[in-house]
Structure 1
């Protein structure tokens, strides 16, 4: 495990920012999941308390990605078909978006959440394709959603955030360096705080905290973090994150770190187009399809 986050940095990062608390409904759901015998009907009822959350969850479940032969019409049915943990992950993604978007309809917010959902689906599909278990797949989905939550918090404070990031990235500065210079914090640290507040495991919180610091994260001996991180970074690359969010076609971080990232999963660069093709068959677009 990477070394603990410096609490002085945390206090510094929080100046001017408010971390949205975990919604009460999610706490109740997690209590049910922790029970010896979780009550599926109770969990479904909790998700359905908010019609927006339930509706969007069903919309995602019925998307082409899951390839269901029959349409799912209730949260309870979704829980039975896909499993409780996966449906709760979907519900969490909706609640996270509502909590961080805070009614904003600007173009960057829309791009941010579209990319979060896209990357989450890619990460989950990649984990499945690489024969990782269901828990690993769900973890990768959560990482795709939470990794850039800090960007939403920073952009709430400054509508110049996308333009500043675009300029800095095109000049080959790291995202953390740009954010520290202009906003005195980084989306990695803020994302870590959101993930921790929302009850993600230490492993996932650490990956969120260091997802732009591969040298630090891969220097440890924690294979759980390494593998989840590697799947996340491949999903980010395949999603074309830099282009989707900031309109740039270069990805210096991937170019510099791809060898180390691929080695974690014993993959070769030539296998990426093959993985992309498998994603396309699941209606998931990648940089190889544009």
Structure 2
């Protein structure tokens, strides 16, 4: 596993920030899953309590990334077709967007969740292409949605977040350095706390905690953590996530660590244009020209 989070620093990191609790709907669904015989109808009913969440879940399930031959027309159908556990992962990921956006439709918030969705879809598609297990494919989607969740918390209290990050990145400071300087916390730690409180796996929580600390996570003795991190970073690179968020043609983490990242996935830089073509065929835009 990656180096343990320094819990003594958590209180300082949380100064002025409140980690949103896992929504009640998720708690009830989890109770159903833990039952000896989960009731699919009851689970579907719980999801359908919020039509926005139910609708977005169906939209995701019916997207090209799942490659389903038939259209899923109801949450109950999705539970039967994909399995309740997979649907729960999707609902959890969908809820993080609704919970943290809290109705905000400012330009940066919209960019944040659009890029998170694109990164999650890209990482999941890459995991499928590399023949990773279904569990890892699903985890990649959750990772894409959750990895920048801490940014949403900071931006709620700092309207000039985007501007400060742009200035810091141009000056060649790291993400955490800039955030610690201005906000006395960083989105990696906040994202970790959200993921942990929402019941994500230890591996996902660790990757979120260190996704801007490549030198640390790439030394993890957990192969799953290294693979999830590599898939996330490759997805970020293909989608140009940092460019989209901060309007900068900079990606220093990728430039510095791409060889080690690709080594985890057992591929080379020369293969990236071919992978980009694959993504384009799946209707995923990348920084590589068609």
Deviation at 1:261? 0.6
* Residue deviations 1:95-128 (CA, integer Å, cap 9, x gap): 1111111121110000000011111111111111
1:200-279, aligned counterparts within 5 Å? 200-279=200-279
Question: 1:91-106, aligned counterparts within 5 Å?
Answer: 91-106=91-106
**Correspondence 1:82-231 to 2 at 5 A:** 82-231=82-231
Q: Does 1:288 align with 2:263?
A: no
SS of the residue aligned with 1:65? coil
Superimposed CA distance per residue, residues 66-105 of structure 1 (whole angstroms, 9 cap, x where no aligned partner):
3434332211112222232332222112211111111211
How big is each residue's C-alpha offset from its partner over 1:200-248, in whole Å with a ceiling of 9 and x where there is no partner? 1111100000011111112231111111111111011111101110101
Q: What are structure 1's unaligned runs of at least 5 residues?
A: none
User: CA offset at residue 43 of structure 1?
Assistant: 1.5
After TM superposition, the score normalised by the length of structure 1 is 0.96
TM normalised by structure 2 equals 0.96
Structure 2, unaligned stretches of length 5 or more? none
Aligned partner of residue 250 in structure 2, secondary structure: coil
- Is contact 2:214–2:253 with CA below 8 Å preserved after alignment? no
Count of residue correspondences:
290
- Residues 127-177 of structure 1: CA deviation (Å, up to 9, x unaligned): 110000100111111111110000000000111000111111122110000
Does the 8 A contact of 2:3 with 2:220 survive in 1?
no
Query: For 1:68, what is the secondary structure of its paired residue?
Result: coil
Aligned to 1:52: 52
Residues 118 and 239 of structure 1 are in contact (CA less than 8 Å); yes or no, is this contact kept in structure 2?
Answer: yes
Q: What's the secondary structure of 2:122's corresponding residue? A: helix
**CA 16–39 in structure 1, closer or farther in 2 if over 3 Å, else same:** same
Q: Sort the Cα spacing of 1:165 and 1:71 in 2 relative to 1 into closer, same or farther, 3 A.
A: same
Q: CA RMSD in A?
A: 1.3
**Aligned-pair distance for 1:51?**
1.0
Post-superposition offset of 1:193? 0.4
Distance 2:255 2:8 in 1: 32
- The residue that corresponds to 1:23 in the other structure is 23
Q: Distance in 2 between matches of 1:139 and 1:226?
A: 13
Once the two structures are TM-superposed, the CA of residue 195 in structure 1 deviates from its matched residue by 0.2
Distance 2:63 2:220 in 1: 38
